[in-house]
Amino acid sequence: MVIAMMTWVGTMIFSFLLGTFLCYKVEKSGVKRWGATGKLFKYK
Amino acid sequence: MIWYVIVFCFYIIFLIWANVKSLKTAESVDDYTTGGHRMGLLLGIGTTAATWVSVASVVGVPGYLYSSGVAAVIGWVAGWCFGGALIPIVAYKIRRPEKPARTFPEYIRHRFEPFQKKSTLQAIVGILMFIGYLLLVNIQVTGFGIVFSSITGIDYKLAIFGFLLFILITSVGGFWSVAATDTLNTILITVGVLLASGVIWSLTGGLGNIVETLATTTAPTIEGGPPLEEGILLSPLGTFGLGALFSIFISNSLGTPSSPHWVTRMLAPKNVKVAILQIMGTILVLIFIMGPLIIIGLGAKVLIPSIPAGKTTDYIIPLVIQEYTPPIVGGITLVAICAAAISTANSMLLHCATSLYYDVYLNISSKRISDRKFKNWLRLSILGIAAVAVVLAINPPWFLAMGFVYIYGGFGAAFFLVVILGLYWKRMNRAGAYAGITIGAVVYVVAKAMGFTVPFVIAVAASLIGVLIAVYSTKKAPLEAYEPYFKAEISDSTRRVLNDVRNSSHEESQDRSKIG
């Protein structure tokens, strides 16, 4: 049971890490049309 | 019964209101197919979560948890979550163009056949999508029919024809109607499964008792069937075995980011970052839906050791609701299951009709039509396809959750490489796309028919070999094909080509101010 639940939790953690990295890449690009606002999780 | 009627009446009133509002909002083809590429974050999370949670999740997954134990968490819950985690990789690139594609097959055309007057590739993808989504809508109809007829006593066939009305109400308004009703559906699903799991938790005495039962029970899944091996329901592999569980996980995970409806969903948000945040938010919301479903599926084994003979594991939720939940909780849970079926079916019905009418018919006939005509014909297509899906559901052919695995596996086998390589590899070209889609789809069907345990892996491996041979033995892709996905500013020639593709099938109306 622990292995199954940890697999799920692991995929969620992976999702947040990957999403954060991609948001960082958007910010680094500086392209406003892609959603760059100057702050990592801020959006317009 | 009165509670069921009251809750349902409120639900239907909202569906009609949302649809009428959407009919006024959706004016252009862009509005109708992708919400005009201006979807905000909250509405985006609402619609993504509701589409994600289908009847296969709410009915099928508890069924597999009941029969196979915690392994179903790895196969479906973690599999879908991992697949969802990969969706932002697609979103990061596909939402970059100033004027993105309206449909998944149109993206394929943009990327691989931008100069063709009639795109064969777009039509092939449209046909594959039509087949896949027709079957997926069929699964939703079947799930709805099983639950509704079991709980209310209404005849199964009558229930599925009643469902036709629900999906038509929510689909004819296009994307905005689907999104608005989906957001309410997400709330309903969350409340419904939380309440039901609370009741199961209380009746079983909590997680300790559930785990203790799972560790010791040998009660067969179906009455009169073979007894289970003691402790197998707590084993990470459950009753599946390593190969089968790996195949389920990989089909659900890698099939997700390349499934056309998820790719299309990533075209709807107003920008790249909103698309990424939308998926992260959805995964958070899903904790409050998948967690309770796990409790319901595993807890059901404590309450009902074996399912009556003649029923499948898809009946476990209706059985639990009927026998153990108070009427008000039962009514809300029933609406939650219906909401899950409706929210997934309406979205897939829209994709199914759009692919057939827009990507196949309009593309091949090269007809130019107005936005108004487009919407009217698309509504007619939705009506026809929904009717076919309901007729096919009269004799349901498969288990709900496993049906999803087959189709997601098929989508993944056909489209995974084309989507990912198309977005991240400039060299990927038209010949590679033809090879990838054809080999992936054919090998998956053949491997499945021959009974291989991991048809998805075999199909993707064969597809990759075909893609590499095709790409390196033909010319590089032209700049106009890949530039919008790699650069912020595109050349004039690329801009011209993209506009030609967008305007090839209908007369584009003037840009409209922001709505919603």
Please, what are the domains in chain B?
A: 2-395 (1.20.1730.10)
Radius of gyration of chain A (CA): 14
Residues of A in contact with B489 (CB under 8 A): none
Give me the helices (H) in B425-491, please: 430-449, 455-472, 479-486
Alpha-carbon gap: A8 to the closest alpha carbon of chain B (Å) = 4
- DSSP H or E stretch at residue B303: helix B272-303
- Which residues neighbour B24 within 8 Å (Cβ) at sequence distance 6 or greater? none
Q: Does residue B201 sit at the A interface (CB-CB below 8 Å)?
A: no
Residues of B in contact with A35 (CB under 8 A): 270-274
pLDDT for the residue numbered B505: 57
User: What number of CA atoms fall less than 13 Å from residue B335's CA on the CB side?
Assistant: 27
Structurally, how many domains does chain A consist of?
1
Per-residue model confidence as pLDDT tens digits over B244-298: 888 888 888 888 888 888 898 898 899 999 999 999 999 999 999 999 999 999 9
Q: Report the 10 Å Cβ neighbour count for B45.
A: 24
State the ipTM, two decimals.
Answer: 0.97
- Cα gap B237→B70, rounded to integer Å: 8
By residue count, chain A amounts to: 44
User: B506 phi and psi, to 5 degrees?
Assistant: -150, 165
Q: Report the share of chain B in percent with pLDDT over 90.
A: 33
Whether A19 is in a domain gets the answer yes
| DSSP helix/strand/coil, B416 | helix
CA angle, B126 as apex, B451 and B340 as ends, to 5°? 75
Establish if B506 touches chain A: CB-CB under 8 angstroms: no
- Within 10 angstroms of residue B123's Cβ, the number of other Cβ atoms is 18
| Spatial separation of the C-alpha atoms in residues B478 and B253, rounded to whole Å | 31
In the structure, what pLDDT confidence band is assigned to residue B92 with cuts at 50, 70 and 90? very high
Which residue in B463, B469, B450, B423 sits closest to B101, CA to CA?
B423
B17 with B168: CB under 8 angstroms?
no
> Tokens at residue B312, please?
């499948």
Report yes or no on A43 lying in a domain. no
Looking at this protein, which amino acid is placed at residue B122?
Q
CB-CB contact of B299 with B201 (8 Å): yes
Q: Looking at chain B, how many residues does it have? A: 516
The number of C-alpha atoms within 13 Å of B389 and in the hemisphere containing its C-beta is 36
Distance of CA B197 to the CA centre of its chain: 24
Domain assignment present for A40: no
CA distance B341 to B327: 21
Per-chain mean pLDDT for chain B: 85
Please check whether residue B271 touches A, CB under 8 A. Answer: yes
- Say if CB B382 and CB B171 are below 8 A apart: yes
Nearest to B283 among A15, A26, A41 (CB): A15
Q: Is the pLDDT of residue B315 over 90?
A: no
Pick from A6, A7, A21, A39 the residue to mutate for testing the B interface (most B CBs within 10 Å): A7
CB-based contact A43 B70, cutoff 8 Å: no
Mean pLDDT computed over B194-216:
91
With 50 as the cut, is the pLDDT of residue B510 above it? no
Measured between CB atoms, does B78 come within 8 Å of chain A? yes
Q: What angle separates helix B455-472 from helix B242-255, to the nearest 10 degrees?
A: 50
Reported confidence tier of residue B12, pLDDT bands at 50, 70, 90 = confident
Please report whether residue A11 resides in a domain: yes
CA separation for the pair B359, B102 (Å, rounded): 10
Q: Going by C-beta distance under 8 Å and a sequence separation of 6 or more, which residues neighbour residue A9? A: none
Residues in chain A with CB shorter than 8 Å from the CB of B276 are 19, 22-23, 26
Confidence of residue B514 (pLDDT cuts 50, 70, 90): very low
B156 or B20, which is more confident: B156
Element (H, E) at B508: none
Give phi and psi for B86, each to the nearest 5. Answer: -85, -15
- pLDDT confidence of residue B24: 67
Cβ within 8 Å, pair B283-A18: no
With CA atoms as reference, the chain B residue closest to A8 would be B78
DSSP for B58-124 reads IIIHHHHHHHHTTHHIIIIIIHHHHHHHHHHHHHHHHT-SSS--SSHHHHHHHHH-TT-SS-HHHHH
Q: Is residue A42 part of a domain?
A: no
Closest CA in chain B for residue A1 = B234
Q: Does B23 touch chain A (CB under 8 A)?
A: no
Q: Is residue A22 part of a domain?
A: yes
Angstrom distance (rounded) from CA B102 to CA B108: 11
| DSSP state for residue B57 in the 8-state scheme | I
* pLDDT confidence of residue B516: 30
Find the closest chain A residue to B75 by CA distance.
A4
CB B125 within 8 A of CB B108: yes
> Which chain B residues have a beta carbon less than 8 Å from that of A14?
82, 85
- Are the Cβ atoms of A11 and B78 closer than 8 angstroms? yes
Confidence class of residue B57 from pLDDT cuts 50, 70 and 90? confident
Phi and psi dihedrals of B369, rounded to 5? -125, 165
Distance from CA of A27 to the nearest CA of B (A): 9
Query: Cβ of B88 and A1 within 8 Å?
Result: no
Domain that holds residue A12: 2-34
Q: In DSSP terms, which residues pair with B506 in a beta bridge?
A: B369
Least confident of B74-78, B164-168, B183-187, B195-199: B164-168
Banded pLDDT at B186 (limits 50, 70, 90): confident
Quick one: how far is CA B444 from the chain centroid? 19
Q: How many CB pairs under 8 A join A and B?
A: 93
- Look at residues B199, B76, B59 and name the one whose alpha carbon lies nearest to residue B142: B59
Q: How many CB atoms lie within 10 A of CB B158?
A: 13
Provide the β-strand partners of residue B222: B307
Q: Which residues of A touch B270 (CB under 8 A)?
A: 35, 44
Q: Which residue on chain B is closest to A37 by alpha carbon?
A: B273
Taking the C-alpha atoms of residue B386 and residue B384, their distance in angstroms, rounded to an integer, is 6
Which member of B71, B85, B270 has the closest CB to residue A18?
B85
What does the alpha-carbon distance between residue B114 and residue B33 come to, in Å, rounded to a whole number?
A: 20
Q: Three-state DSSP class for B506?
A: strand
- What residues pair up with B39 in beta bridges, in sequence order? B269
Residue A24 pLDDT > 90: yes
